[in-house]
Structure 1
Amino acid sequence: MIPAKLRVAVVGAAVMLVAACAGTPAAGPSPSPASKTPSSASPSAKTMADVMTSDNVKLVANMPRTAPLDGPMSWNSDLAFQGNYAYVGNFGGFSIFDISDPTQPKPVSQVSCPSQQNDVSVYGDLLILSIDEPRGGEKCDSDQGTGPSSAGWEGLRIFDISDKKNPTYVSAVRTDCGSHTHTMVPGKNPDTLYVYVSSPGPEPDSKTCPPPHELIQIVEIPVKDPKSAKIVAKPNIFPDGQGEGMFAAGCHDITAYPEKNLAAAACFGDGVLLDIADPVKPKVLQQVRDTENFQIWHSATFNNDATKVVFSDELGGGGMATCDNKTPKTKGANAIYDIVDGKLERRGYFKMPREQTSNENCVAHNGSLLPIKGKDVMVQAWYQGGVSVWDFTDSHSPREVGFFDRGPAGGDHSIAGSWSAYYYNGYIYSSDILKGLDVIQIDDPLTDPAKQVKMDDFNVQTQKSY
């Protein structure tokens, strides 16, 4: 989701864009007819939380948000995993769950640390949060740093999670325009961790986000001395400038694949392929644009052998109903690019095929690859569109394999649904903005081989081969 400070302008433009596109024929392949139930899968009996699923998918557990992380704006956000633990970001802080039995997750601890985003990742005994909102100070007890006397602070917060029942704040690093998302890139020495900070900007009158801002920021964290973490580079990865007509510069999200010395950056108006052999000096291999179909380049996912990248478009910034019959199938969707001779070549598009109501915010959001050798399969969140599992082994003809759909949140909830949906050690974990942590199981001949792969940890923006 784009930050509130830029959302109004982007959503306003998206309203005009969707209106202009209504009735426009969709380019590229059409995955399947738009309906709540695709022809290939009928809904199973509703379970636990009045959800609808394909026959091969079921909800096995739900952990509702609890105090103090259950307020009106205490939205669940991103996820990370380590051993038998799941870490759930929340605009009010973060939670840790014991998932040694995925069908019965157990709360371990909660940390109150308010801020927009709180994108979370874990590395050894460290947990890192992205803070994308000016605060009065770097610590968790700071208030919103918007008063005239406030210096304003935003960036990264670092915690010690060696004691899962009692995480402790360690330090913080201030970054220009804060940190909307971040990406871990382990150094050649395992005691050094590099973190790529993605943030939108600039804001000319802001104390925390001055112009210009066509860059990313790289933070070095000495694992044994995280208090000495600092910014070590601010590379400009846009040699040709950024896409015209966008409301933000910088990047929304970067996915690194350290084993392949590659990273893919989704940077609002552009997709960028990077060589990260030297993690402090990333080199641009290619910069691509799709002004016809993409509005906000939101995130990127490599396939396992790094011969493809899936870029997603967060049309409207996550606050609009773009999965209705008025929005073309190539907008608010995924674009599949093959990497041919080191260059990105677009092959096809995928959008989850069930038509949603005009009251459901729905657009492509966070997802991850399933570990299946020889196949390219993803699970992905679509806000109120739910969770979709889809196969892009044939880049030209992607198809949905299974789905989970709660339906409209109702009431005054204009923002709801699945923020992130990731596959980890046999189950899908979905961070639902309002409903909490869902654990979902898929049983299908295509996806069953993934159950044989055991991961020790998983941070979706730092891909590993399997």
Structure 2
Amino acid sequence: MGTIPDQTIATGQTATLEIVSYFNDPDGGALTYTAATNAAAVVSVAVTGGTLTLVGVTAGTASVTVKATDPAGLTAAQGFRVTVETPNRSPEAVGTIPARTLTVGQSATLDVSPFVTDPDGDALTYTAASSAAAVVTVTVSGSVLTLVGVTAGTASVTVTAADPAGLTAAQGFQVTVETPNRAPEAVGTIPARTLTVGQSATLDVSPFVTDPDGDALTYTAASSAAAVVTVTVSGGTLTLVGVATGTAIVTVTAADPAGLTAAHGILVTVETSSKVKPCIGGSAAGYPCSRVDLVSRLSREELGVTVGIVNDMWGWTDPATGTEWALVGHSGGTAFVSLEDPENPVYAGFLPFTQGARPSIWRDIKVYRDHAYIVADDAGAHGMQVVDLTRLRDISTTPSRLEAVAVYNRIHSAHNVAVNEETGFAYAVGASGGGETCGGGLHMIDIRNPTSPVFAGCFADPRTGRASTGYTHDAACVVYRGPDTGHRGSEICFGSNETALSIVDVSNKQRPRALAAASYPQVGYTHQGWLDEAQEYFYMNDEFDELNGKPRPRTIVWDVSDLDDPIVAAEYMGTTGAIDHNLYIAGNLMYQSNYLSGLRVVDISNRENPREVGYFDVEPAFAEIAMDGSWSNYPFFASGIIGVTSTGRALGYKTSNGGVFFVRLSGN
């Protein structure tokens, strides 16, 4: 009937075997079966009818004997071998495969064998798949994956380990593919610069570098010869200072957050200043002076002024080239003077007054975001002209006629305009002759879109002004950061209102709030003023008190540490009899334009005890008390150049053609 074959089972496995097919009784008798194992610790046996049941106990081998017995007790037997094996177990994941980050185009390898184990010690076969092959691809060699970033994004990579029996374990991990960081790139060439010894100039280098990833860049700079020119950096702006004659290369490096860089070299030449007329023995080229040197001058004729006077001025520094520009008002319009070489200023452009208006001896200019805002008083329907100053870069023929890019016509004439460059609001004051005059007070204009001015509101304090209308002659408007904690962060305007100082919170243009209206003894005409840099003191000039018997020009020193209750802390009396006009403050110095005695430089380090430390008389032929001579000045150029206007005048046999003077403090 054949031989019972050997059997293989696993530990714990039960197997059955029909044994009747392996025995036969020739007499046809019914057989009964029994079975025995020689190693019950390896395999156990049991018989039911003709079925043998085997149960694997532990790994090993055993012999099993099966006996068949007929009714008479006669027997036959067969033996076979049983092998009991340990069962195959699945591979197991170990820990977690960490997420990976690649850049586009980058490949990386990863050995995944430490992350899978096989409890039976079987050799494993690895496969892997990406959930997004458009983001990352994966190939396998042995247990090593190769990942390749394709496009920016994320994908899941699944790794499967299989044993020889086909049992598996899997692990998944995330792969992020990023656009690779790219280095900053140089744009164009930074033009060479020429300075004179002692001259400083600023240059915004940010237009000359770009980062293709849009990263913020950090700038550093070094001079190849610090004995010739020094360089410092603030943000993207360099400040160059000529030290001695010679040439140097200034290297500017822009770095992204990852440390990738781009660099520019700038050739800087420092020359001896041959045209500057130093103040020696109280004179600079015949102009009385003290500690102020004459750099250059343009007369009224050289500014294109044929009728009328030179009046106000302001300044602009081109952020792309670093060139400083003087914006000079006169009766017929505005002159634009390039100070690229301050010893040789160039009358580069002119803007006539608005068509349909009329000439005016009062013109005022301020600047916001590379645009000039120009008003004129008693000029008819002049409005506020808006000039794109970046167009000055394109002038090839000098002087060139400029055109306003916009004219704001909600006002006609205005005596002055103040601009808060931090908030983007302009304040026309002393408006008259048509339009929304706001009682001659603050006519507020939103210029945050520089070429589209929009009316924002009015304010006038009827407690002030000669006609009790709140007329404002001039104003200074700031975001307040001074000592009065109750008003910090508010936008505050300080108005010189003919008879009093007006202080108003204009944070809400629709609902401005008067804080104070304060007068002082023997008011002549409250004309104009400026804050110190700590916003603790306001220095105000009175234009008429000299005409009313004051022997010297008087500057009112207001303590405005309490905006709701300003007090007169002191009165500074000038050193001449000339009438005081516009004044401005830079650092601890106050620069006063005092008509026929010219520019007066006053040290306000001791805020309540100013003292004159320098001057430059632009009209030495005249000593009368009259409203001629220096109308205004601009002391805010980084180069140290100070612009000073003179109206020019004709008086009997004495004449002067005025113009604009460019001076600097001696030794600067």
Cα distance in 2 for residues equivalent to 1:334 and 1:411: 20
Residues 141-220 of structure 1 correspond to what in structure 2 (within 5 A)?
153-164=381-392, 165=395, 167-175=402-410, 178-186=413-421, 193-199=424-430, 208=434, 213=439, 215-220=441-446
Compute the displacement of 1:280 (Å).
Answer: 5.5
The residue aligned with 2:476 is: 255
Does structure 1 residue 287 correspond to structure 2 residue 532? no
The residue aligned with 2:647 is: 433
Q: From 595, 604, 611, give the equivalent of 1:383.
A: 595
The residue aligned with 1:368 is: 584
Does structure 1 residue 118 correspond to structure 2 residue 363? yes
Q: Which amino acid aligns with 1:380?
A: Q
The structure whose RCO (Cα within 8 Å, separation 6+) is larger is 1
Helix, strand or coil for the counterpart of 1:163? Answer: helix
Q: From 530, 548, 555, give the equivalent of 1:334.
A: 555
The residue aligned with 2:375 is: 130
Does structure 1 residue 101 correspond to structure 2 residue 338? no
Is the Cα–Cα contact under 8 Å of residues 368 and 421 in structure 2 kept in the other structure? Answer: no
Cα distance in 1 for residues equivalent to 2:404 and 2:438: 31
Q: From 326, 330, 342, give the equivalent of 1:86.
A: 326
Q: Deviations over 1:308-346 (max 9, x none)?
A: 111111117xxxx759xx5244xx421001123333121
Compute the displacement of 1:307 (Å).
Answer: 0.8
Cα distance in 2 for residues equivalent to 1:404 and 1:211: 38
Does structure 1 residue 443 correspond to structure 2 residue 666? yes
Helix, strand or coil for the counterpart of 2:459? Answer: coil
Out of 116-125 and 170-179, give the one that drifted further: 170-179
Cα distance in 2 for residues equivalent to 1:126 and 1:437: 21
Cα distance in 2 for residues equivalent to 1:276 and 1:134: 28
Cα distance in 2 for residues equivalent to 1:308 and 1:60: 32
Pair 411,287 (structure 1): closer, same or farther in 2 beyond 3 Å: closer
Compute the displacement of 1:412 (Å).
Answer: 12
Cα distance in 2 for residues equivalent to 1:263 and 1:392: 22
Helix, strand or coil for the counterpart of 1:347? Answer: strand
Cα distance in 2 for residues equivalent to 1:198 and 1:367: 17
Q: Deviations over 1:398-449 (max 9, x none)?
A: 21111111445569996531111221221221011122111112137xxxxx
Pair 395,429 (structure 1): closer, same or farther in 2 beyond 3 Å: same
Cα distance in 1 for residues equivalent to 2:327 and 2:306: 19
The residue aligned with 2:501 is: 271
Pair 222,115 (structure 1): closer, same or farther in 2 beyond 3 Å: farther
Cα distance in 2 for residues equivalent to 1:68 and 1:59: 18
Compute the displacement of 1:222 (Å).
Answer: 4.9
Cα distance in 2 for residues equivalent to 1:59 and 1:307: 33
The residue aligned with 2:454 is: 230
User: Which has the greater radius of gyration?
Assistant: 2
Cα distance in 2 for residues equivalent to 1:338 and 1:222: 32
Structure 1: where are the runs of 5+ without partners? 1-41, 136-152, 202-206, 356-361, 445-450, 452-466
Q: From 597, 601, 604, give the equivalent of 1:392.
A: 604
Q: From 348, 351, 354, give the equivalent of 2:573.
A: 351
Report the aligned-residue RMSD. 3.1
Cα distance in 2 for residues equivalent to 1:354 and 1:422: 21
Pair 172,438 (structure 1): closer, same or farther in 2 beyond 3 Å: same
Residues 40-79 of structure 1 correspond to what in structure 2 (within 5 A)?
44-48=281-285, 50-54=286-290, 56-66=291-301, 69-79=304-314
Q: How many residues align?
A: 352
Q: Deviations over 1:179-202 (max 9, x none)?
A: 1100112475xxxx321110166x
Q: Deviations over 1:93-121 (max 9, x none)?
A: 11112213323322221223263222112
The residue aligned with 1:448 is: none
Helix, strand or coil for the counterpart of 1:213? Answer: helix
Structure with a larger share of its residues in strand: 2
Helix, strand or coil for the counterpart of 1:162? Answer: helix
Cα distance in 2 for residues equivalent to 1:369 and 1:159: 26
The residue aligned with 2:10 is: none
Structure 2: where are the runs of 5+ without partners? 1-278, 319-323, 482-490, 649-657
Helix, strand or coil for the counterpart of 2:391? Answer: coil
Cα distance in 2 for residues equivalent to 1:296 and 1:328: 16
Compute the displacement of 1:293 (Å).
Answer: 2.5
The residue aligned with 1:204 is: none
Out of 270-279 and 346-355, give the one that drifted further: 270-279
Cα distance in 2 for residues equivalent to 1:214 and 1:109: 31
Q: Give the TM-score, by structure 1 length.
A: 0.68
Pair 235,314 (structure 1): closer, same or farther in 2 beyond 3 Å: same
Cα distance in 1 for residues equivalent to 2:666 and 2:385: 38
Compute the displacement of 1:71 (Å).
Answer: 2.2
Cα distance in 2 for residues equivalent to 1:210 and 1:85: 32
The residue aligned with 1:309 is: 538
Compute the displacement of 1:52 (Å).
Answer: 0.4
Residues 411-426 of structure 1 correspond to what in structure 2 (within 5 A)?
415-423=627-635, 424-425=637-638, 426=640
Q: Percent identity?
A: 18
The residue aligned with 2:43 is: none
Is the Cα–Cα contact under 8 Å of residues 282 and 288 in structure 2 kept in the other structure? Answer: yes
Q: Give the TM-score, by structure 2 length.
A: 0.48
Cα distance in 2 for residues equivalent to 1:229 and 1:431: 29
Pair 223,402 (structure 1): closer, same or farther in 2 beyond 3 Å: same
Pair 80,283 (structure 1): closer, same or farther in 2 beyond 3 Å: farther
Cα distance in 1 for residues equivalent to 2:531 and 2:332: 31
Q: Which amino acid aligns with 2:328?
A: V
Is the Cα–Cα contact under 8 Å of residues 246 and 269 in structure 1 kept in the other structure? Answer: no
Q: Which amino acid aligns with 1:196?
A: Y
Does structure 1 residue 404 correspond to structure 2 residue 616? yes
Pair 248,403 (structure 1): closer, same or farther in 2 beyond 3 Å: farther
Cα distance in 2 for residues equivalent to 1:59 and 1:214: 38
Compute the displacement of 1:211 (Å).
Answer: 8.7
Out of 246-255 and 85-94, give the one that drifted further: 246-255
Cα distance in 2 for residues equivalent to 1:248 and 1:71: 36
Compute the displacement of 1:176 (Å).
Answer: 5.1
Cα distance in 2 for residues equivalent to 1:287 and 1:389: 29
Pair 185,352 (structure 1): closer, same or farther in 2 beyond 3 Å: same
Cα distance in 2 for residues equivalent to 1:413 and 1:301: 24
Is the Cα–Cα contact under 8 Å of residues 368 and 378 in structure 1 kept in the other structure? Answer: yes
Cα distance in 1 for residues equivalent to 2:300 and 2:343: 17
Cα distance in 2 for residues equivalent to 1:211 and 1:127: 21
